[in-house]
Structures are given as C-alpha cells and as structure tokens.
Amino acid sequence: MTTTFKPGRNEPFVVSSFLDAGKYEFLPFSQPEQERAQGFITAMLSTFHFRTGSHLLVLSQQDTVNHFLPIERAAMDYGLIVCNADDSMFDVRRTESILRRFDVTAAVAVSGEVLDGLRDSGFDAAELFRDVVVWAYPDAAARLDSENVRQFMVLGPATALECQYRNGLHLDPREWLVECVDGEILLTSKQPRSMDFEGFATGVKAELHQGVCACGNTGPRIVLK
C-alpha cells in the first residue's frame, strides 16, 4: 500500500510535526481533532482511579502539541494537576524536583533519554517512579520493568497508550482505522482533519489484537513484537 497524507478540510489552529519514514513533516491540527483526542485520553485516564488533586507529570516538547495538548487538557478536566518538564536529559533536575516535591500519581511520557539523564545526574529512576503509574516509551518501559509501567507510543500523527489492564496499546478507534500489513502498523484517518492519512506506514512492527479490552475499548490493540 502506498503511504499517503494530504491536506484535509479542517482549518488548523496550530502546526505540529510528525515523523514519516524518519523525516519530519508538518502536521496542521484542528480544534475538532483536539477535542476528539482529548475525549480519547479522558477515557484512558478513566480506566484508573486517580484521585482529584493529585499530580500528573508530563514529559514532552513543544513540537509535540498534537499528542500532549489533549493529554494536558484531559488531565486538567479530569481533576489532575499537570506538572511539565522537558523530555530531555538537560531538564532532569526539574523532573526529579517534581517527583520529590509533589504527590505525583502518574507520569507520561518517560523516555530512554530522560532515564539516561536521571542516571547521569545520580538519581535512581526506579526509586523516583516507585508507586507512580508510568506511561513510558518502549525503550524506557523495558528498563523500568515495573507493574506500574504502561506503554506509550507516538505512531506518526497518532498517540497510542495502554490502559490500566496492560493488554496492548490503544489508539482512538473513532479516529483511526488500524491495519497490520506484512507485520507493520498502517493508519487511515476516519474523521475530517487538517491532514488526512490513508494507509500511513508507521514503521512500527507489531501484532494487532482484536476483541474488547477489559477497559471496554472495542478497537484493536497494538502489541509490539
């Protein structure tokens, strides 16, 4: 299948970026997309029971707005207090400071680079994230190796994350048609967007698990090989 993405009909309010076969492309992003993505994240948060007023540590960069704006706004509406740090080894002092000072109930999205930075600065990441639900990129998830860890991934324009039940990565089933062709995950957008996708090759090798998840999500789940 040929990878395609082309401008859609929605008026963007921000321009973000996504990776296509190792090359960055611009991703215009619209309000309806933001609202739908926020709804999906709210559903994911709701599979846990995070206490109102506890803190969510969000590790991100400014150019990942289409992934992290929905997360931040969903968390705020859910009742969590959002603390931000850069997804960078240069900002691990702030990450450590947040984990030390605040009642952090969950963290998203911990990367291998942040774990490297914490280690190089003399911090014990396993201890810092103890008792914290951690959404981690696959490389970091393997290193943390704790039952509190859930996988988190960026697949081109889409955000994928595990729910409480750790049955594989969910994508918003209203937003994306997910297929597995020759072992690679392909995405097709199902709703009007500022950038439409058809058979977008994510470069992610995985299996698709069908069936209803324990959390109630009926979409296919991505299980990494």
Partner 1 sequence: MQEARILQLVPYVYNRAPLTRHIWDQAGVHPDDIKSLQDYKDKAPFINKDTIREFRDNNSDPFGGLCCVVQPHLKGIGFTSGTTGDPTPVPRAKHTLSMLDLKRCFWHMGLRPKDYFINAMFTFREGQTADRCIEADFKPINFCYKPSEVVPRIIEASLKYRPKVFFMLSTPMVTAIEKYVRDRNIDIKEAFASYQGAVFGGEMLGDSMRQRINSWGLEVYEYTTLGDVCGAMQCSAHDGMHAWEDLALVEVLDPDGSEPVADGEVGELVVTALMDDVAPLVRFRTDDLVKITREPCSCGRTHARFWPLGRKGDQIIVRGKSILPRDLLPIFQTQAETSSGLFQIILRSREADILELRVGYDASVTGDPAELKSRLLELVSNGMEVPVAIDLVVDDELLKLGPPQKIPRVTKS
Give yes or no for a contact between 84 and 108, defined as CB atoms under 8 angstroms apart. no
Q: Where in 54-93 is the site for partner 1 (CB under 8 A)?
A: 55, 58, 60-65, 68-69, 72-73, 76, 79, 81-86, 90-91, 93
For partner 1, the binding residue among 1, 4, 7, 53 (CB under 8 A) is 53
The answer to whether residue 7 forms part of the interface with partner 1 (CB under 8 A) is no
Query: 3-state class of 41 per DSSP?
Result: helix
What span, in angstroms and rounded, lies between the C-alpha atoms of 74 and 46? 10
Q: How many CB atoms lie within 10 A of CB 109?
A: 25
Angle value at C-alpha 36, between 34 and 38, nearest 5 degrees: 65
Q: What is the CA radius of gyration of the chain?
A: 17
In the complex, least distance from residue 62 CB atom to partner 1, rounded to whole angstroms: 5
Q: Which is nearer to partner 1, 87 or 196 (CB)?
A: 87
DSSP codes of every residue in 59-113: EE-GGGHHHHHHHHHHHHHHTPEEEEEESSGGGHHHHHHHHHHS-EEEEEEE-HH
CA distances 98 to 137, 159, 168, Å, are: 20, 24, 29
In the complex, least distance from residue 94 CB atom to partner 1, rounded to whole angstroms: 5
Which residue type, as a one-letter code, is found at position 61?
A: Q
Q: Where in 97-126 is the site for partner 1 (CB under 8 A)?
A: 97-98, 101-102
Number of residues lying near partner 1 (CB under 8 A):
40
Q: Which is nearer to partner 1, 29 or 217 (CB)?
A: 29
For partner 1, the binding residue among 32, 36, 47, 94 (CB under 8 A) is 94
Q: Which is nearer to partner 1, 56 or 158 (CB)?
A: 56
Give yes or no for a contact between 162 and 169, defined as CB atoms under 8 angstroms apart. yes
Q: Which is nearer to partner 1, 13 or 165 (CB)?
A: 13
In the complex, least distance from residue 157 CB atom to partner 1, rounded to whole angstroms: 14
Q: Which is nearer to partner 1, 2 or 52 (CB)?
A: 52
In the complex, least distance from residue 83 CB atom to partner 1, rounded to whole angstroms: 5
Residues of this chain that interact with partner 1 (CB under 8 A) are 12-17, 24, 26, 31, 34, 52-53, 55, 58, 60-65, 68-69, 72-73, 76, 79, 81-86, 90-91, 93-94, 97-98, 101-102
